[in-house]
Each structure stands twice: as C-alpha cells, then as structure tokens.
Structure 1
Amino acid sequence: MKYSYIIVDDDAASISKTAKVFAGFSNYFLLGTANTSDDAVNLVLEHKPKMIVLEIDPTKRTADCR
C-alpha cells in the first residue's frame, strides 16, 4: 500500500532533506510542501494526505500565531 504525505517546514533546506529521506521508501509519496500555516491547511484540505511531517520553529512567531 502507498501512503501520501506532505511536508510542512519553514526551512527550505530541511524540506529537501526530509524529502530525500522519504525518497528511500517506495511505499510513501510526496503530495506537496508548505512553508506557512495557511499553505499547509490548504494542502491538507485539498489532498487529504495520510501523514503530515511538521517542523516549524516554535520560537519564530508570526502574526497569525498570536
């Protein structure tokens, strides 16, 4: 069985590293990536992935996180 996933991360280099790790597992496929919470919500609602890999630095505050 194949499992879909998305990566949510505020660091582009980290997204790339995570995608490379998952590329080694044939039963997972990447639906998309997001670097903001709004983009992440839209991806989840549109694609309904089986898994979400989330890495957001909690020390970085944005206007929508207050």
Structure 2
Amino acid sequence: MTSECPFDEMSFNPSGAARVLGISDSKMFQLLAAGEVASFRVGRARRIKGSALNKYREANAV
C-alpha cells in the first residue's frame, strides 16, 4: 500500500523548488532572499512547501 503525499504538503530544497518552477537555482535564491517565496529552516537546511510554490505560481503566472 502506498501513501501519497499531496503536493501542497511536500517540501523541497531550493534546487528542487527551482526545477518545479522551471527557473534557475540562482533565480530561486533571489526569490527567497526577496521574500517572494515563503520558506522555512530545518536545522541549517532551507525548505519550501509545495503550497508556497503554488501560491507563487498563481501570483506570477509562471
């Protein structure tokens, strides 16, 4: 039996989030630094929820 995790609840590292949005890693880091995409930290690692990526997509029609 497989347990599917909804996209909104998934979390991505910045590189994975960049791939989902179809942008470069450096552009993703610019968006994070500007606060345009919400993120959180787990220790030293930065993570971005799928819901934050969907929100950015809707706001910017990526």
TM-score (norm 1): 0.26
Choose 1 or 2 for highest CA Rg. Answer: 1
Q: Which structure: greater strand fraction?
A: 1
TM-score (norm 2): 0.27
Q: Which structure: greater helix fraction?
A: 2
